[in-house]
Amino acid sequence: MIRVTLQRYPRSVPSPLDAKLSGVLGGRTASALAKGFGVETVRDLLTHYPRRYARRGELTELVHLPLDENVTIVADVIEVRERPMRARKGSILEVTITDGKGVLTLTFFNQAWRAKELRPGARGIFAGKVGDYRGSRQLAHPDYELFDDENAGDGDAAEAWALTPIPIYPATASVASWQVQKAIGVVLDTLPELPDPVPDDVRASRKLLPFRRAIELIHRPTVDAEWGAARKSLRFQEAFVLQLALLEQRQRLREQAATPRTPVAGGFLEGFDERLPFTLTADQQVVGSAIAEDMVTTRPMNRLLQGEVGSGKTVVALRAMLAVADSGGQSALLAPTEVLAGQHLRSIVAALGPELAARLRPTLITGGMPTADRRRALLAAVTGQAHIVIGTHALMSESVGFFDLGLVVVDEQHRFGVDQREALRRKGATPPHVLVLTATPIPRTVAMTVFGDLEISTIAELPSGRQPIETFVVPLSDRPGWMNRVWERLAEELAQGRQAFVVCPAIDPGRPESDDVPPDVSDDAASQRPMASVTDVLAMLRADPRFASRTVEALHGRLSSEEKDSRMRAFAAGELDVLVATTVIEVGVDVPNASAMIVLDADRFGVSQLHQLRGRVGRGPVPGLCLLVTAAEEGSISRDRVEAVASTLDGFELAQKDLELRQEGDVLGSIQSGGRSSLRLLRVVKDGDLILEARAIAERVLADDPTLARHPALREALDARLDETERDFLAKS
Ligand code: ADP
Ligand code: MG
């Protein structure tokens, strides 16, 4: 087996940042933090930056507190009342707090003793989930910490006390903001000087704080200006280390020569082209030749192919794989989910036809495979018999080896990070060519900065003969009665012999399918309502006489991969009429007879996710219908997102709107969902200029000191970044 590990420069001394938290904090605190936020090392904790800063002297506005959201607020206690519970034994302590204008009630059951500390006039910080009790807002059993008013006396001390910023950390129901703050304080108290990854001259010329000082001030500022300067310094450091990592990766790649892959006369590619049932669109041809030109050189191809859902990217990728097979090499196709990997296998086998398929042996490798199958598949990959290997994250695991990996195709870039691409790349004897496919158009600023190492191609036209998809928003907040009309419409589609998807944000009532809520949505107040679930909707449709003669099945991430696969297959074969699903059907699913896509609680999904879901219908000769059902109020951001999707079919336009709608959206985070290694302070869209400057400086540093031997702290920061990424792989595979 050929296995190449990434070349490492000699490691620098271990950093105090790499120390395990369990050795620094109490075991209980450490494990609560690990459970709550996935932080395990000192570095993880210290980069758990405050979300914002409050002040003791400044009360939080209470009028606009969003319902059902976890909030952390500063307020004064004005009234405390104890009363017996009506139906049961025991008492309720009701504490009214205020910002001077609005009020909020805190309720505690059977905790009358709290009246001793929560006295009228006390000021503190309160955290909990905003609930509604008979029309007024309340926090039930909030966590709180009262300010110690000894310091609040008179004069300068009092003023300093009132102005001191209080860091508000991302918190969970079990770890409050101030608990995070205390843990960080403990770590900071003994934290030694830290070597700074940013070179001295750069720091001086940009007026940045030294690393150790910046870390101190972002967590323990005494005035607002301090955290401002700290964020600025750490943000630059992030941009700089990221650009250095990208540049270094590119530099290493260029040092290695790829194997040229040339199609042969009378070979696989020619055979495939001869039996292709359609002609390639002009865009497909242009991109196809760009790829062919890239792959006949010794410089590894590194190309991003973006194109609308259904624009025919897969065919282009398959042709590249055939060119590689012609030269005796193998290709790996990396798909984001097992369902999609399975579907890719089937559609590739079908596209190749029996004769080519038998010779190329497309082979599936996924985590959920039975051991015997997996062993057989691994053997086919490592001996080179399988010219096309298709799989999920499992492809990146140690046990997967190739005989001669020539091309890595990554489907749907936004699910895989730069670093994951790198992991697969390492499996080639010589660096394989890499082709990344995405239907999520990547805004130019992002492409330029984040994927600086990729060439970009675009397929803009759809193959002819496609039916347009009609999209409608069903606004339940204004028209609750329209829900029934949605089901009627579904019945009508089915009556025409067509099939449909009904997508829900949750599998079970009350819980989102954990890993499927996009980061830009999960914070959104309006999207915290109860959600449609697969379980409920499945039961409802099965009980509805309008669907009595229809076969309705569920598809979601908790099913075994065999179950998912067999249901998907049954749907593709027309044996099922309706699939009630979560977003596992999001990308790549191709069932030409499916005409309707009904998304319930559409505001729970991101713009690109909705666009992807819509792309599942209208793929064949029948026109597509997409109904986006939402209870979000008109004018809310959630509703705007849904309206945006309905307003256009153009993915590039949508990507732009999406950016405008995400206020603090971390574009990089959702593209590169590589766990904790994604960026903290940097915002790819907003900080475009900063990223370009950081890139220029990184280029200079690297040109001057290619192995970074003279920049040990920077070397260490890069290694740490890599370690984090490797940890993420292990967790996933
Ligand atoms: P994408 O991966 O970009 O979403 P696919 O490659 O899956 O799109 O193509 C969608 C469908 O269109 C497939 O059924 C494919 O066979 C078909 N197709 C691809 N290219 C063409 C073309 N040039 N003309 C007609 N149909 C095409
Ligand atoms: Mg596809």
The pLDDT tens digits for 125-150 are 888 888 888 778 888 888 888 887 66
Weakest-pLDDT range from 289-298, 299-308, 440-449: 440-449
Please work out, in degrees rounded to the nearest 5, the angle formed at the alpha carbon of residue 247 by the alpha carbons of 15 and 396: 75
Distance 683 CA to ligand 1 centre (A): 35
Q: How far is the CA of 431 from the centre of ligand 1 (A)?
A: 29
DSSP secondary structure letter of residue 707: T
Helices of type H across 66-112 = none
> Between these two residues, 552 and 733, which has the higher pLDDT value?
552
Cβ neighbors of 354 (< 8 A, separation 6 or more) are none
Instruction: With CA atoms as reference, report the closest residue to 74 among 151, 163, 135, 183.
Output: 163
pLDDT of 550 > 80? The answer is: yes
In this model, does residue 444 exceed pLDDT 80? no
Q: Cα(431)–Cα(433) distance, rounded to whole angstroms? A: 7
Evaluate the CA torsion angle 172, 233, 696, 423 in order and state its sign.
negative
- CA 312 to ligand 2 centroid distance, Å: 7
Distance (Å) from CA 282 to ligand 1 centroid: 13
Kindly give the distance from the C-alpha atom of residue 315 to the centroid of ligand 2, in angstroms, as a whole number. Answer: 8
- Name the residue with the closest Cα to ligand 1, atom 11: 310
Residue 309: CA count within 13 A, CB half-sphere: 25
- Say which ligand is closest to the CA of 439: 1
Beta strands in 520-654 (DSSP E): 552-555, 578-581, 594-599, 624-630
- Ligand 1 binding pocket includes 278 (Cβ within 6 Å): yes
Give me the DSSP letters along 112-156.
GGGGGTS-TT-EEEEEEEEEEETTEEEEES-EEEE--TTTTSSHH
User: What does the alpha-carbon distance between residue 595 and residue 531 come to, in Å, rounded to a whole number?
Assistant: 24
CA-311 nearest atom, ligand 1: 3
Atom number of ligand 1 nearest to Cα 281: 23
Please give the distance, rounded to the nearest whole angstrom, from the Cα atom of residue 313 to the centre of ligand 2: 6
Burial class (CB in 10 A: 0-12, 13-18, 19+), 200: exposed
Determine contact, residues 618/469, Cβ cutoff 8 Å: yes
- Top mutation candidate among 314, 349, 437 for ligand 1, by most atoms within 8 Å of CB: 314
Residues in Cβ contact with 405 at an 8 Å cutoff, skipping those fewer than 6 apart: 329, 330, 331, 332, 427, 428, 429, 432
Q: Which of 278, 334, 649 to mutate to test the pocket of ligand 1 (most atoms within 8 A of CB)?
A: 278
- Residue 598's SS3 state is strand
3-state secondary structure of 475: strand
- The answer on pLDDT for 646 being more than 80 is yes
- 283: Cβ below 6 Å to ligand 1? no
Q: Closest Cα to atom 25, ligand 1: which residue?
A: 463
**CA angle centred on 702, ends 698 and 703, rounded to 5°:** 115
Phi/psi at 47 (5° precision): -100, 10
User: How many of the other CB atoms lie within 10 Å of CB of 225?
Assistant: 11
C-alpha 570 chain-centroid distance: 30
Q: Which residue has the higher pLDDT, 395 or 687?
A: 395
Closest listed ligand to the CA of 280: 1
What's the whole-number average pLDDT of the chain?
83
Tokens found for residue 685 = 């869209």
Mutation probe of ligand 1 site: the residue of 340, 590, 622 with most atoms within 8 A of C-beta: 590
CA distance 451 to 610: 24
Ligand nearest to the CA of 305: 1
Cβ(310) – ligand 1 distance below 6 Å: yes
What is the number of the ligand closest to the CA of 313?
1
What SS3 class is residue 455?
strand
Q: What is the pLDDT of residue 606?
A: 83
> Which of the 8 DSSP states describes residue 432?
P
Alpha carbon of 407 to ligand 1 centroid (Å): 21
**Nearest ligand by distance to the CA of 621:** 1
Helix, strand, coil share of the chain (percent; to 5): 45, 20, 40
- Would the CB of 133 count as within 6 Å of ligand 1? no
In this prediction, residue 80 has a pLDDT band, given cuts at 50, 70 and 90, of very high
Domain 469-648: assigned CATH number: 3.40.50.300
d(Cα 328, Cα 112) in Å, to the nearest integer?
78
> Residue 291: which residues within 8 A CB-CB, separation 6 or more?
301, 303, 316, 319, 320, 435, 457
Instruction: Report which bound ligand comes closest to the CA of 465.
Output: 1
Higher-pLDDT residue of 615, 375: 375
What is the edge-to-edge ordering of all strands in the sheet holding 594-599? Answer: 469-475, 624-630, 594-599, 499-503, 578-581, 552-555
Separation between Cα atoms, residue 622 and residue 571, nearest integer Å: 16
Q: Whose CA is nearest to atom 5 of ligand 1?
A: 312
> How far away, in angstroms, is 620 Cα from ligand 1 center?
10
Start-to-end Cα distance in the chain: 20
Closest residue to atom 26 of ligand 1, CA basis: 463
pLDDT attached to residue 730: 38
Tell me how far apart the alpha carbons of residues 491 and 552 are, in angstroms, rounded to a whole number. 12
Distances (CA, A) of 497 to 43, 471, 500, 592: 57, 20, 10, 12
Query: How much distance in Å is there from the Cα of 696 to the middle of ligand 1?
Result: 40
β-bridge mates for residue 302, sequence order = 434
3-state secondary structure of 8: coil
Cβ atoms 401, 3 nearer than 8 A: yes
Q: Is this model's pTM higher than 0.75 or not? A: no
How far does the centroid of ligand 2 lie from the alpha carbon of residue 567, in Å?
Answer: 19
Atom of ligand 1 nearest to the CA of 309: 4
Report which residue type is found at 532. A
Spatial distance between the Cα atoms of 334 and 324, rounded to a whole number of angstroms = 16
Say how many Å lie between the CA of residue 433 and the centre of ligand 2.
19
309 lines ligand 1 (CB under 6 A): yes
Q: Is 276 in the pocket of ligand 1 (CB under 6 A)?
A: no
Ligand 1 centroid to residue 585 C-alpha, Å: 18
Q: What is the DSSP letter of 20?
A: B
Q: What angle do CA 514, 373, 368 make, to 5 degrees?
A: 5
Determine how many CB atoms are found less than 10 A away from the CB of residue 460: 14
Residue ranges with strand state E in 538-643: 552-555, 578-581, 594-599, 624-630
Query: Whole-angstrom Cα distance, residue 226 to residue 209?
Result: 10
Q: Do domains 268-459 and 469-648 have the same CATH topology?
A: yes
For the chain, which residues make up each domain, given as ranges? 57-163, 268-459, 469-648
| pLDDT at position 671 over 50 | no
CA angle 280, 284, 286 (to 5 degrees): 120
Can you read off the two tokens belonging to residue 96? 């009214």
pLDDT of residue 515 exceeding 50:
no
Asked if the model's pLDDT at residue 732 lies above 70, the reply is: no
Could you give the CA distance from residue 479 to residue 269 in angstroms, rounded to a whole number?
A: 55
C-beta 9 within 6 A of ligand 1: no
Q: Is the CB of 342 under 6 A from ligand 1?
A: no
- pLDDT confidence bin for 669, thresholds 50/70/90: very low
Can you tell me the distance from the alpha carbon of 442 to that of 656, in angstroms, rounded to the nearest whole number?
A: 9
**What is the pLDDT at residue 448?**
56
Where does the pLDDT of residue 167 fall: very low under 50, low under 70, confident under 90, or very high at 90 and above? very high
Instruction: Specify whether the CB–CB gap between 269 and 322 falls below 8 A.
Output: yes
- Residue 351 CA: which ligand is closest? 1
Ligand 1: atom nearest CA of 465 is: 25
Contact assessment for residue 261 and residue 295, using Cβ atoms and an 8 Å cutoff: yes
Residue 485 predicted with pLDDT over 70: yes
> CB of 311 closer than 6 A to ligand 1?
yes
3-state secondary structure of 489: helix
Section 334-341 average pLDDT: 84
CATH topology of domain 57-163: OB fold (Dihydrolipoamide Acetyltransferase, E2P) (2.40.50)
Per-residue pLDDT, 578: 97
Gap from CA of 51 to ligand 2 centroid (Å):
38
Q: Is the CB of 460 under 6 A from ligand 1?
A: no
Residue position matching structure tokens 């597509």: 624
Q: Position of tokens 């109904």?
A: 627
Ligand 1 centroid–CA 29 distance in Å is 53
* Cβ–Cβ < 8 Å for 394, 365: yes
Is the Cβ atom of 463 under 6 angstroms away from ligand 1?
Answer: yes
The Å distance, Cα 397 to ligand 2 centre, comes to 24
Domain 268-459: assigned CATH number: 3.40.50.300
- Which ligand lies nearest to the CA atom of residue 588 in the structure? 2
Residue 40 in 3-state DSSP?
coil
What is the phi/psi pair of residue 479, to 5°?
-130, 75
**Residue 312 Cβ < 6 Å to ligand 1:** yes
pLDDT of residue 586 exceeding 60, the answer is no
Say if residues 531 and 604 touch (Cβ distance below 8 Å): yes
Q: What is the mean pLDDT of residues 72-85?
A: 89
Indicate if the pLDDT at residue 186 is higher than 90: yes
Tell whether ligand 1 has an atom less than 6 A from the beta carbon of residue 362.
Answer: no
